[in-house]
Amino acid sequence: MQNLEEAIQLLKNDNIIAIPTETVYGLAGNAFSDNAVKKIFRLKNRPWNNPLIVHIGSLNELDSLAKDIPEVAYHLASTFWPGPLTIILKKKDKVAKTVTAGLDTVAVRIPDHPLTLKLLERLDFPLAAPSANPFGSISSSRAEHVENYFKDQLDLILDGGECTKGIESTIIGFDQNEEPVLYRHGSISLEQVEEIVGEVKIFNQSGKRPIAPGMLPKHYSPETISFLTDDVLKTVNLFKGKKVGLLLFKEKRPNLPLIHQEVLSKSGNYSEAAKNLYVAMHRLDQKKLDAIIFEKFPEEDLGKAINDKLRRAAHAAQ
């Protein structure tokens, strides 16, 4: 457990380290230290108006960060925490505006990873942590992805293995009437949330600045130019003579033998596909292809969240 001791020391001294979570790796720092929080923004090259998620180790800590917490928020927290649900609540003054990018709300979750839970238990402050990737690029679901991005800039990457969920947490907030609002599709399906709280409105950002970068039209992108399509063969035909990679849901296309193909779940399981999504995207991106073609998923269950990521990762839709 040497790494855990080292992690604690580094964090206490306002350093930033990479931590594993069940969704994706995070770049973590003391959420109560302005100095540490600023380092996170700089490291990630993240715009200052994009707030960070605050990670806590137990439900008791929620009251120290947030006020006027709706009953339904406790209900969601007790159902899904530790787990991939982030809840947006009114912030207490103690939470610095650097973390929340000037907003009077704070995003909070308890991550479900044994190593990070142990770490949080040992700290007397929560951890602000965005996904461990430079702003706009593919998130990291393995320690090696973090290393490729930030090799020389991080003192420590806590390796907790491959993330079991593989896509980011689902983000839920509340409107003035305490009605739940979906801010970001993620690892818990909309259907699962609605089972607990009834119908959830989808946040409509029209006319407003995007307050969740997960909501920016372009995000999670490979370096290689990428396209999203529901007709793979037709799109492949546009790239005759080019080196193309395919990111597919269930089945390879055997009649396209020369094309590099990644299948996300042979059995058509959405959770498995989500777990493999960024791993496969990173792998395709490293092949230095001329283009990557993403196959659209059915708009149900986690297929919705996966499509949301693919849509933003793609440079163009077909």
Residues found near ligand TXA in the complex (CB under 6 A): 21, 23-24, 26, 50-53, 84, 86, 88, 100, 103, 105-107, 111, 129-131, 168-169, 171, 183-184, 211-214
CB nearer to Mg ion: give 70 or 136: 136
Please state the closest distance from residue 53 (CB atom) to ligand TXA, in A.
Answer: 5
Distance from C-alpha of 168 to C-alpha of 133, rounded to nearest angstrom = 12
Whether residue 28 contacts residue 166, with contact meaning beta carbons closer than 8 Å, is answered with no
156 binds, options ligand TXA, Mg ion, none, Cβ within 5 to 8 A by partner type: none
Place of tokens 């490729």: 148
CB nearer to Mg ion: give 215 or 259: 215
CB nearer to Mg ion: give 184 or 296: 184
77 backbone dihedrals φ, ψ, rounded to 5°: -60, -45
CB nearer to ligand TXA: give 33 or 139: 139
Please state the closest distance from residue 292 (CB atom) to ligand TXA, in A.
Answer: 21
307 binds, options Mg ion, ligand TXA, none, Cβ within 5 to 8 A by partner type: none
Please state the closest distance from residue 289 (CB atom) to ligand TXA, in A.
Answer: 26
Place of tokens 């600023």: 38
171 binds, options Mg ion, ligand TXA, none, Cβ within 5 to 8 A by partner type: ligand TXA
8 binds, options Mg ion, ligand TXA, none, Cβ within 5 to 8 A by partner type: none
The DSSP symbol for 130 reads -
Q: Report the relative pairing of strands 226-229 and 201-202 from DSSP bridges.
A: unpaired
Q: Which residue intervals of the chain are DSSP H helices?
A: 2-12, 34-44, 62-65, 71-80, 97-100, 114-122, 143-150, 190-197, 232-236, 270-286, 302-313
Task: Write out the H or E segment, with its range, that includes residue 253.
Answer: none
Residue nearest to Mg ion (CB): 131
Please state the closest distance from residue 158 (CB atom) to ligand TXA, in A.
Answer: 12
69 binds, options ligand TXA, Mg ion, none, Cβ within 5 to 8 A by partner type: none
Residues making contact with Mg ion (CB under 5 A):
131
Distance from C-alpha of 54 to C-alpha of 36, rounded to nearest angstrom = 13
CB nearer to ligand TXA: give 106 or 236: 106
In the 3-class helix/strand/coil scheme, how is 167-182 assigned residue by residue?
CCCEEEEECCCCCEEE
CB nearer to ligand TXA: give 83 or 245: 83
Distance from C-alpha of 187 to C-alpha of 147, rounded to nearest angstrom = 24
Please state the closest distance from residue 27 (CB atom) to ligand TXA, in A.
Answer: 8
Tokens standing for residue 286? 């490293």
Please state the closest distance from residue 149 (CB atom) to Mg ion, in A.
Answer: 12
Distance from C-alpha of 87 to C-alpha of 305, rounded to nearest angstrom = 17
